[in-house]
Chains A and B, each alone.
Chain A
Amino acid sequence: MQFDRRSVLKAGAALSAFAAMPRMASAYGAFNPQPGPWRQFEVVTRLEIAKPEGKMQAWVPVPAVNEADWFKSLGSEWSGNGHASLGRDPKYGAQFVHVEWKDGETKPLIEVTSKIATRDRAVDLSQAGTVKSLPAAEHKFYTEGTELIPVDGIVKQTSDKIVAGAKTDVEKVRAVYEWIVANTFRDGKVRGCGIGDIASMLKTGNLGGKCADLNALHVGLVRAAGIPARDVYGIRVAPSKYGYKSLGANAEVITKAQHCRAEVFIAGHGWVATDPADVRKVVLEEPPGNLAIDNPKVVDARNTLFGAWEGNWLAYNFGHDIALPGSKGPKLGFLMYPQAECGPSRLDCLDPDNVKYTITSKELTGA
């Protein structure tokens, strides 16, 4: 067993002063999402293949999450010059518009319009809840490993150390959350990179990353503790009304605003919002940048994002290991970005030379 490279496991410190605290307003206290009015948004994804060649197809994610308390997917429409249909991942229910263009199409284009309703959510974990436990099958489903989120080996060993001493599920999840916030940063001394899954993150000690890395690590460590957890892949659609520039989409064009969050299932409270990756984002990006961990804005985000999040965000799906129909490429670890293929090659959708796409957001009803 190799637990090594660096002090990956400051696990004993994870149950810090924060660990057993209920969510409460900090000295700053401005970040306080609470369930309120629903907001409706229209989100348009327009995708073009920049260099048409061979058989061309694309998959555009559309919202497929419906949670009575905080999110409604209100349907999607599409237009363009290919043959398109709505596809659905059979395991997780993730949805996408799959479009295929005929050979020789010189300007492959698809435009997908989705409507959603969203609102803030929050739960007071210091009060006893009444939500029933998950059925056994769902509990198993949301505690299993996935391709990118194994829950055995170093993940289980790390989780065991982090939650040692925690008695309740809330304490265990809080311990993991605090460990993520305290330990996931880019350490210049670490030379290796992971191969994309959370086990390699832990083994290399390279715990830096974006939401898909950090919240996946959070979900994996919680699942390894036997508590249901799931990633929610989505995109920010509006500025934060709580004054966090780093936690909102601050323009109509939201092409690069993808963000995934995480939920944990706490007996009595049901699925609970958590987002340790956004705490790290505040540290890194909130102006003027590189904020200290005890900066009031960081403290406020750290307290708030365990149990609450702001409804300025669209949830696409909870999916992992998604096989795209018609594709010969490997499964996707998650579906949060549009995907496209030309011939046998899956295109790099982050490379505008190959695939051009824009995503725009417009609010239909004010808060």
Chain B
Amino acid sequence: MSPPSAAAQLQPAPGPQPSFILPDARGERFALDAQRGHVVIVHFFATWCEPCREELPALNRLAERSNGTIWVLAISVDEPDDRVERFFRATPVRFPVLLDRDRAVAKSWNVTTLPSSFVLDADLKPRLAVETDFAWDTVDPRTLAGELSATTQTQGTSQLQEDKHAIR
């Protein structure tokens, strides 16, 4: 296994990104707008992409360490549903995994590299971004969440996001 890209840093994000509604492999639909009030990492990946596979466990550990202060939406780009489902049966994560089947959301966010991650503040404004795999284990979730929540009066809870974010 290779280490995450040594030079990879979270950079200022390029600007507003369009909202989206995407399904997960069970057909439940998730809306970005429904995450408002929380710091959110929107993470684009593919299960065939080696750096993506290596990065996902670190992202999962961050979600776990954040205890609900940072929420993660992982978006699989252009993959068959059952391939994604099979991957996460073997490598379970605690955040929703959404399916961008036709790459429409990746394209609308100008994503050309997998993995790519965007850190959104509580107003869902992209504040930080990284266009390769990133060492999420180096991030203090409380510090990150504190900095990015400062612009909004957030009444966040720390419940597991799987229970809260789906559009039903």
**Residue positions of A touching B, CB distance < 8 A:** 188, 191-197, 199-200, 203-204, 329-331, 344-351, 353-354
- Do B5 and A191 touch across chains, with their CB atoms under 8 A apart? yes
Please, which residues of chain B bring their CB within 8 A of the CB of A196?
Answer: 77-78, 103
Does B73 count as interface, using CB distance less than 8 angstroms? no
- Do B51 and A195 touch across chains, with their CB atoms under 8 A apart? no
The minimal Cβ–Cβ distance linking A209 to chain B, given in whole angstroms, is 11
- Do B51 and A193 touch across chains, with their CB atoms under 8 A apart? yes
**Residue positions of B touching A, CB distance < 8 A:** 2, 4-5, 8, 25, 27, 44, 46, 48-52, 77-78, 80-83, 86, 101-103, 106-107, 111-115, 131-133
State which of B48, B51, B83 has its C-beta within 8 Å of the C-beta of A192: B51
The minimal Cβ–Cβ distance linking B156 to chain A, given in whole angstroms, is 32
6 further A-B contacts with Cβ under 8 Å, apart from A192-B114, A200-B113, are A191-B2, A191-B5, A192-B131, A193-B49, A349-B80, A350-B83
Query: A283 vs B102: C-alpha distance in the bound complex, in angstroms?
Result: 33
- Do B83 and A330 touch across chains, with their CB atoms under 8 A apart? no
Tell whether A191 pairs with B78 under 8 Å between CB atoms, given A200-B113, A329-B101, A330-B101: no
State which of B83, B86, B102, B114 has its C-beta within 8 Å of the C-beta of A193: B114
Task: Specify the main secondary structure of chain B where it touches its partner.
Answer: loop
- Do B51 and A191 touch across chains, with their CB atoms under 8 A apart? yes
The minimal Cβ–Cβ distance linking B52 to chain A, given in whole angstroms, is 7
- Do A347 and B80 touch across chains, with their CB atoms under 8 A apart? yes
By beta carbon, the residue of chain B nearest A344 is B27
- Do B83 and A351 touch across chains, with their CB atoms under 8 A apart? yes
The minimal Cβ–Cβ distance linking A332 to chain B, given in whole angstroms, is 10
Q: Nearest 6 CB-CB pairs, A to B?
A: A330-B102, A193-B49, A192-B113, A200-B112, A348-B80, A348-B83
Please, which residues of chain B bring their CB within 8 A of the CB of A346?
Answer: 80-81, 101
- Do A345 and B106 touch across chains, with their CB atoms under 8 A apart? no
By beta carbon, the residue of chain A nearest B48 is A193
- Do B112 and A195 touch across chains, with their CB atoms under 8 A apart? yes
Please, which residues of chain A bring their CB within 8 A of the CB of B82?
Answer: 345, 347-348, 351, 354
Which of B46, B80, B107 is packed against the most chain A CB atoms within 10 Å? Answer: B80
The minimal Cβ–Cβ distance linking A50 to chain B, given in whole angstroms, is 11
By beta carbon, the residue of chain B nearest A343 is B27
Tell whether A193 pairs with B80 under 8 Å between CB atoms, given A203-B113, A330-B102: no
